[in-house]
Amino acid sequence: MSLTTSIHNNNRFAGQEKLKNHLQRNGPGNNAYTHIMSAQQSQGIQALLDAEKEAARIVEKAREYRSQKLKDARGEAAKEIETLKSKREDEFKEFEQQHSGNTDSQQKVLEEETKQKIEVIKSEFNKNKAQVVSDLLSKVTDVQPELHRNYKLGIHQLK
């Protein structure tokens, strides 16, 4: 053992020895002893209470900080959403304006094509009208009476 350790241990034992002698002389119920022990315990308890209060204050501060950060994040997200929404609406309006002119011109082209097709159909109708009427009249007026094929089969089976 080193000299310092030896002196330290002797002092520690000396302090314990003094306390032991004091207790033997005055007894554990001595008011001075109780007061010293009570004061030390009070200081320890008070230190624990102070530490607990400090911890509660730190936790409350952290909660407030967290809730403020959440509010800030929600606000920023709402602003970002609104910005993106207005940007998309502007893009849509621009797209609509660019293509609405094309819609009008496309509609005019379609109307012209439809008119041309109607004219072709009318000209075909007028061209073939006489032939169709004569074919219909010939089929209606030139009737060749004959037995129906099912009836013919029925007669052959009866024989």
DSSP 2: -
| Model pLDDT, residue 20 | 64
How far apart are alpha carbons 10 and 21 in whole angstroms? 16
- pTM recorded for the entire structure: 0.36
Which residue matches tokens 């009008």? 104
Mark the ranges of the chain whose per-residue pLDDT is less than 50: 1, 3-4, 6-11
| Model pLDDT, residue 139 | 87
- Name the 3-class secondary structure at 130: helix
Tell me the per-residue pLDDT of 63-92, one tens digit each, with 9 for 90 and over: 999 999 999 999 999 999 999 999 999 999
